[in-house]
Amino acid sequence: MSANAPRRAVRIGNASGFYGDRMKAFREMIDGGPVDVVTGDYLAELTMLILWKAKAKDPAAGYAKTFLAQARDVLGDCAERGIKVVVNAGGLNPAGLAGEIEKLVAELGVALSVSYIEGDDLAPRLDRLMADGHELRHLDKGSALRDSGIEPVSANAYLGGWGIARALDKGADIVICPRVTDASLVVGTSAWWHGWERDDFDALAGAVLAGHIIECGPQATGGNYSQIHEVTDRRYPGFPIAEVEHDGSFVITKHPGTGGLVSVGTLTAQTLYEIDHPQYLNPDVVAHFDTASMTVDGPDRVRVSGVRGTAPGTQLKVAMNYVGGFRNTMTLVLTGLDIEEKARWATDEILEIIGGTERFDDIDIQLLRYDRPDPATAAESVAHLRITVKDHDRVKVDRAFSNAVMELALGGYAGFHTTTPPSSASEFGVYWPALIDASVVTHVVVHADGEREVIPHTQGLAEPRTVRTPGTSAARHNDWGPTVREPLGRVVAARSGDKGGKANVGVWVADDHAWDWLCEFLTVDRVKQLIPEAADLPVHRYELPNLYALNFVIDGFLGDGVASSVRPDAQAKGLGEYLRARHVDIPVDLVPVDLIMADRGVGTA
């Protein structure tokens, strides 16, 4: 830890979780109570592809335009109250957005200094990098980029937080970032505020977790929370605030009078969201999420402490996207009896009309059953036959395909109709994650006066160190006594999401007793039984005993990522809720009696 005298905790409010999030969130954050810094996360793998398309049409574009509208609304008040703004809305054109913000600052007549970060964009250098021996192997598939025959349209290295810290240290009021890690917004801000050194790894690790928790906005304050009955204030959740202290411990809260909930559960959910191994790799530090402890610090306040950090690795993650071709989807509605036979007939007819599966690069056909026996309503009588075709030739999958499907209107199964009229093809992207040596990435801050300052990377280790977590479980093989058949979600909470082509499902319970059972019961094999779609895929299990949590990562569940996935839930947002809905044998003493009675339609006095 640096020798600086400790300052009070820095209050960092997040006001955006994605490009297109709540427009009023910035205004609500600065008006709701005191904050020192407002951050905004606008980028995801898919967003980079969206911004590339925008920039291809207009070279001056490539950034999150919604931030400009938000900035116009709040910058005057930020200047008056001394609130800093740090966002990654710069996307593929941080210089362009910084220039627009400078124009806005001049128009508003406020005294605010604007800096921006660059150096993440590797797309113009890919050929040279590969010629120099950088293979950029796909993290999940192992194949080298040079052998793939693809041409990425975007390639961005994930930068750390020290550029942000330096920009703030030099007086910036607004820092526009490109593809920094989501957590870097909080890491850089906290490092600047507290004067941390490069090797203050425990403090940095705490800031990484704080950044990870608030990066998705109201997901930390009751949004997307599986324990719905705990959220008694159903107004739109207040966006989260991290009060980061000098040692890296922090409190998560929200402004008074806002909706939602801050609890150990909501923070556990967000800790598990879209992670892989709990040894969470970041450009500035490896944060060991399984060392974190959470305690209630008051109403809508949870303290997180004990996060251990170790030196980062020598490589940075690179997110690349390439155009995979064109796709089109038509969804046929099947009604009433003989659903499977109708689906077979429809499939055979369509394949005959379009010339067979070999006509396309890829075809995916899914029968989605929503129907029930003896349906009480029309809605309970239908199933969907979802047909998706992909090809590099747009003509094949354009109206030629969707019009062909409509030929079944008078010559197919009884009750034929579709969810949409014949549709046109759309371009889809494919995600390619890789690693590259940090030494070939130049992290640059462009200060308000035009000075360009190179930010060195933290000296990394070829093999990141591990931290032994006390209390890691082993199989107990206890006698759990009588069981009752109930949904897993009666005792287990969950949060799921996407990691490129992977899906993750984090699950947790409330106490030691339930944790012992969860560790023994929910094995990899059990997860494959409960999620049959994962039966033939690699599944990895990780433990976070301090949080009574397990994290399961399913390789290849989403194919090549959200932009190209053919699953109806392309980001695996509902996968955790699906798992919780599965009925399993649960020890009676783990399930509250009122829930058992409710499932059996029996009231309790």
What does the pLDDT average to over 114-123?
98
Task: Quote the pLDDT of residue 379.
Answer: 95
Question: Which two three-digit tokens encode residue 272?
Answer: 């598990």
At 472 the pLDDT is 52
Predicted pLDDT at 604: 47
Structure tokens belonging to residue 208: 């990484």
Q: How many CA atoms lie within 13 A of 273 on its CB side?
A: 28
pLDDT digits (tens, 9 = 90+) for 280-313: 999 999 999 999 999 999 999 999 999 999 999 9
Q: Is the pLDDT of residue 605 over 50?
A: no
pLDDT confidence of 477, banded at 50, 70, 90? low
Confidence of residue 184 (pLDDT cuts 50, 70, 90): very high
Query: Residues 19-27: what's their mean pLDDT?
Result: 97
pLDDT at 463: 80
| More confident of the two residues 517 and 464 | 517
Q: What is the distance between the alpha carbons of residues 541 and 55, in angstroms, rounded to a whole number? A: 40
pLDDT score of 6? 86
Whole-angstrom Cα distance, residue 509 to residue 516? 10
Amino acid 156: pLDDT: 98
**Domain ranges (residues) in the chain:** 10-120+158-312, 319-431, 483-596
Q: How confident is the model at residue 475 (pLDDT cuts 50, 70, 90)?
A: low
Give me the sign of the Cα torsion angle 403, 404, 409, 410. Answer: positive
Calculate what percentage of the chain has a pLDDT beyond 70: 95
Take residue 101 and report the two structure tokens written for it.
């913000």
Residue 443 φ then ψ, to 5°: -85, 120
- Residues whose CB is less than 8 angstroms from the CB of residue 229 and which lie 6 or more positions away in sequence, other chains included: none
Whether the pLDDT of residue 512 is over 80: the answer is: yes
DSSP 8-state class, residue 50: H
**Its pTM surpasses 0.85:** yes
Q: Does domain 319-431 have CATH number 1.10.12.10?
A: no
Over the stretch 159-181, which tens digit does the pLDDT of each residue have?
999 999 999 999 999 999 999 99
pLDDT at 281: 96
In angstroms, rounded to a whole number, what is the distance separating the alpha carbons of residues 306 and 110?
41
Q: What is the pLDDT of residue 466?
A: 74
What's the average model confidence in pLDDT over 588-592? 92
Give the pLDDT band of residue 470 (cuts 50, 70, 90): low
Please name the helix (run of DSSP H) or strand (run of DSSP E) that holds residue 579, with its range, or none: helix 575-581
> Around 133, how many Cα atoms within 13 Å sit in the side-chain half-sphere?
2
Q: What average pLDDT does range 200-225 have in this prediction?
A: 98
Could you say which DSSP state residue 9 is in? P
Over residues 188-213, mean pLDDT:
98
pLDDT in tens, 556-589: 999 988 888 889 899 999 999 999 999 999 999 9
- Predicted local distance difference test score (pLDDT) of residue 478: 73
Q: What is the dihedral of CA 30, 35, 36, 41, to 10 degrees?
A: -70
Query: Mean per-residue pLDDT for 502-516?
Result: 96
Whose CA is closest to 528, among 494, 579, 486, 562? 579
